[in-house]
Amino acid sequence: MNWTLKSFKELTLSEFHDIIQLRLDIFVVEQDCPYLDLDGKDQIAYHFFGRTDEGKTVAYTRLFGPDEYYKEAAIGRVVVHQDYRKDGLGFELMSKSIEQIESLYHTKTIKIGAQRYLRKFYESLGFESTGEDYMEDGIPHTYMIIK
């Protein structure tokens, strides 16, 4: 897997297209959840993504510093192409995203808004539920923090 970290301004049009296509394929089509993906936050985020040797974007997160999304640093839009989930790529993506946050923002405190069914996955990475559950686009979510 070839990992890349870029600010919005550093992304090529092709990279941004591939990222949006992956997000829409999973969040809108696979999860059958029409929602407004382009929320105006891509411009302030760092974009961390993994591509195969053939150049296909198959894993992605959006990274924010403290006070850019939440009070804490944040990881969002966590997505792995369905053909690559069984190989532990989600764990690798999140582990590397946590490392990127620590390097970029010099903090270990990170907040996520996780789909509730993935709580155990995020707990395996050290995140703890805050007990604040909410509905987003018809999908149950919970806030989680790692310190």
* Annotated domain spans of the chain: 2-106
pLDDT tens per residue, range 3-57: 999 999 999 999 999 999 999 999 888 888 888 889 999 999 999 999 999 999 9
| CATH code assigned to 2-106 | 3.40.630.30
- DSSP labels, 74-94: EEEEEEE-GGGGGGTHHHHHH
| Residue entry with tokens 């990127």 | 100
Q: What is the pTM of this model?
A: 0.94
- The two tokens of residue 33 are 């959840």
pLDDT of residue 137: 85
pLDDT of residue 86: 85
When pLDDT is cut at 50, 70 and 90, the band that residue 138 belongs to is: confident
pLDDT of residue 101: 98
pLDDT of residue 35: 82
- Tell me how far apart the alpha carbons of residues 145 and 71 are, in angstroms, rounded to a whole number: 11
pLDDT of residue 13: 97
pLDDT tens per residue, range 75-121: 999 999 999 998 899 999 999 999 999 999 999 999 999 999 999 99
